[in-house]
Amino acid sequence: MELWRDKIRKTEPYIPGEQPEGRNIIKLNTNECPYPPSPMTERVIREYSCGDLRLYPSILCRGLKSALADTYSVEENEIFLGNGSDEVLALCFMTFFNSDKAVLFPDITYSFYDVWCQLYGIPFKRIPLDDSFRIVKEDYFGENGGVVIANPNAPTGIYMGLESIEEIVSANRDSIVIIDEAYIDFGGISAAELIHKYDNIVVVQTFSKSRALAGIRVGYAMADKRLIDALEAVKNSFNSYTLNSLSQIVAEAAARDTQYFRKCCENIISTREWTIAELERLGFDTLPSSANFIFTTNKNIDAKALFEYLREQNIIVRYFNKPRIEQYLRITIGTKEQMEALTAAIRRY
Ligand SMILES: Cc1ncc(COP(=O)(O)O)c(C=O)c1O
C-alpha cells in the first residue's frame, strides 16, 4: 500500500547563513552590505501611498527595467526580474536545463546549484577547481547540458577574466551558459555586453550585495530576448507576481543612484584590501578576492575552532565543513570598524 510519505518529494535543501535576531553582533556571514542602501530608497518608501498595496504589482515592471536597461545598455525585453537572484537562478535551471547530458559547475561554488539540480532531477557534474582554487576554462568545452559559473566565484572570491568567460560561452553554442554575477561589482567586468554577441549566455545579478538591498529580494537576468521570453513563460506558469510593488520602486531608486553605488563599492574594496594585509600580518593566506568577502586560511590555526571562538565574541563568519575547504573561513567585508574588531579578536585568539 502506498503511504502519504511515499507521495512526498524528498529534497536536501540549501542551508543559508544564520540571520541572528540580536543587534549586538558583527555579522560577516552572508555577504550583505555593511552600509545602508541609497538615501533615494528611503525617499521613495516615505512617499509611497500605502493604499496602493491593495493592488497587484505591475507585471511589466517598466520603471525598474528601464533603470537597468540604461545601466547595462540593454533593451528592456532583454531583462528578466525575480524575487532575489536565487529565484531567478532557480527559474533559469528549470527553463534552460532540460537535457539528458550533465550540467557542469565547479566542485567548490555556490551550493544552491546542486540543490536545484537535485530538486528538478537535472543530471550534473562537479568539475574540480585547480590546486589554487581557479576554474579551468577548458574543462567546460566538452559536451554538456549547460554550464553555470559564479563570477567572481563563491566562496573563493576569485574572478575569471571576460575573455575566458567568452571562450566558455563560444565553445558551448548548443547549450546555455549561466554567469552568476552576484559579486561582479567588487572588482570584475560584467559579461552583460556578451548578450548581444551570443544567444546562449544568461547573466544573473542581484540587488542584495553591492546595492545593499538583501531585504527587498530583487534579482535579474540579462539575455537574448528569446531566452527572456522562455523564462517569462516558465515564471508565468508558476507565479505571475513575483516582484512586489515596494521592491520594484525601491530597486529602481537604488539602480538610478550610481554615484552612491560606486562609493559603497569603493569603500568595500579598500576595506577588503586593508583586511587582507592585516590578516597577512597575522599569518593568514587569503585567496585573491574580487568580491565583498574573503576566503582565508592560517596553517597554524584550526578554522573551525577560530570560527567558534569568533562566534563567542559575537562575530559571525562562515565556515563550510566540506572537503578541500575545511581549513578556510569566508569573511564578509564589513565597515572598517567591524574589520578592526575582527582582526583585534583574532589577535587575542
Ligand atoms: C553566488 C551567489 N549567487 C546568488 C546568490 C543569491 O542572492 P540573492 O537571492 O539575495 O539575490 C548568492 C547569495 O549569497 C550568492 O552567493
Q: What is the CATH number of the domain that holds 251?
A: 3.40.640.10
pLDDT at 21 (0 to 100): 80
Residue recorded with cell 562575530: 315
pLDDT at 17 (0 to 100): 84
In a domain, 319, yes or no: yes
- Distance between Cα 160 and ligand 1 center (Å): 18
Residue 189 sits in the same domain as residue 131: yes
* Residues pairing with 222 in the sheet: 79, 203
In a domain, 301, yes or no: yes
Given the CA of residue 208, which atom of ligand 1 is nearest to it? 10
pLDDT at 24 (0 to 100): 87
Residue 82 sits in the same domain as residue 223: yes
In a domain, 164, yes or no: yes
φ, ψ for residue 179, nearest 5 deg: -110, 115
Q: Which three cell numbers stand for residue 345?
A: 579578536
Given the CA of residue 150, which atom of ligand 1 is nearest to it? 1
Q: Cβ of 44: how many Cβ atoms within 10 Å? A: 17
DSSP label of 152: S
Q: Which three cell numbers stand for residue 153?
A: 566565484
Domain span including residue 156:
39-256
φ, ψ for residue 319, nearest 5 deg: -120, 130
Residue 282 sits in the same domain as residue 249: no
Residue 199 sits in the same domain as residue 287: no
Residue 109 sits in the same domain as residue 209: yes
CB of 332 closer than 6 angstroms to any ligand 1 atom: no
Residue 219 sits in the same domain as residue 306: no
Residue 113 sits in the same domain as residue 28: no
Residue 102 sits in the same domain as residue 189: yes
CB of 31 closer than 6 angstroms to any ligand 1 atom: yes
Number of domains within the chain: 2
Domain finish residue from 231, 256, 281: 256
DSSP label of 56: P
CA Rg value for the chain: 21
Three-state DSSP at 68 gives helix
To test the pocket of ligand 1, the residue of 19, 31, 112, 204 to mutate (highest count of ligand atoms within 8 Å of its CB) is: 112
In a domain, 2, yes or no: no
- Distance between Cα 184 and ligand 1 center (Å): 12
- Distance between Cα 49 and ligand 1 center (Å): 30
Residue 57 sits in the same domain as residue 76: yes
Residue recorded with cell 550540467: 103
In a domain, 9, yes or no: no
To test the pocket of ligand 1, the residue of 83, 86, 186, 211 to mutate (highest count of ligand atoms within 8 Å of its CB) is: 86
Given the CA of residue 31, which atom of ligand 1 is nearest to it? 14
CB of 33 closer than 6 angstroms to any ligand 1 atom: no
Residue 152 sits in the same domain as residue 211: yes
Domain finish residue from 198, 232, 256: 256
- Distance between Cα 228 and ligand 1 center (Å): 20
- In the chain, which ranges are E strands? 26-27, 79-82, 103-106, 124-127, 146-150, 177-180, 201-206, 219-223, 285-286, 293-297, 315-316, 318-319, 328-332
Residue 28 sits in the same domain as residue 107: no
> How far is it, in rounded angstroms, from Cα 345 to Cα 314?
10
Domain finish residue from 228, 256, 284: 256
In a domain, 5, yes or no: no
Q: What CATH number does residue 328 fall under? A: 3.90.1150.10
pLDDT at 84 (0 to 100): 98
In a domain, 202, yes or no: yes
DSSP label of 248: H
pLDDT at 1 (0 to 100): 83
Residue 236 sits in the same domain as residue 172: yes
- Distance between Cα 328 and ligand 1 center (Å): 20
Q: If the chain, 349 residues long, is cut into consecutive pieces of 10 residues, what is the mean pLDDT of each piece?
A: 90 87 89 98 96 95 97 98 98 97 98 96 98 98 97 98 98 98 98 98 98 98 98 95 95 98 98 98 98 98 98 96 96 98 97
C-alpha neighbours within 13 Å on the C-beta side of residue 167: 13
> How far is it, in rounded angstroms, from Cα 221 to Cα 162?
18
* 3-state percent helix, strand, coil for the chain, nearest multiple of 5: 40, 15, 45
In a domain, 297, yes or no: yes
* 333 contacts: CB under 8 Å, gap ≥ 6: 28, 34, 268, 271, 272, 275, 292, 293, 294, 339
Residues 250 and 216 sit within 8 Å (Cβ to Cβ): yes
Mind listing the pLDDT tens digit for each residue in 250-298?
999 999 999 999 999 999 999 999 999 999 999 999 999 999 999 999 9
> How far is it, in rounded angstroms, from Cα 257 to Cα 212?
12
- For the question of whether the overall pTM of this predicted structure is more than 0.85, the answer is yes
To test the pocket of ligand 1, the residue of 28, 115, 151, 209 to mutate (highest count of ligand atoms within 8 Å of its CB) is: 209
Mind listing the pLDDT tens digit for each residue in 223-257?
999 999 999 999 999 999 989 999 999 999 999 99
pLDDT at 19 (0 to 100): 87
What 311-315 contacts at long range (C-beta under 8 Å, 24+ apart), as own/partner pairs, is: 313/345, 314/22, 314/24, 314/25, 314/26, 315/25, 315/26, 315/28, 315/341, 315/342, 315/345
> How far is it, in rounded angstroms, from Cα 314 to Cα 21?
12
CB of 214 closer than 6 angstroms to any ligand 1 atom: yes
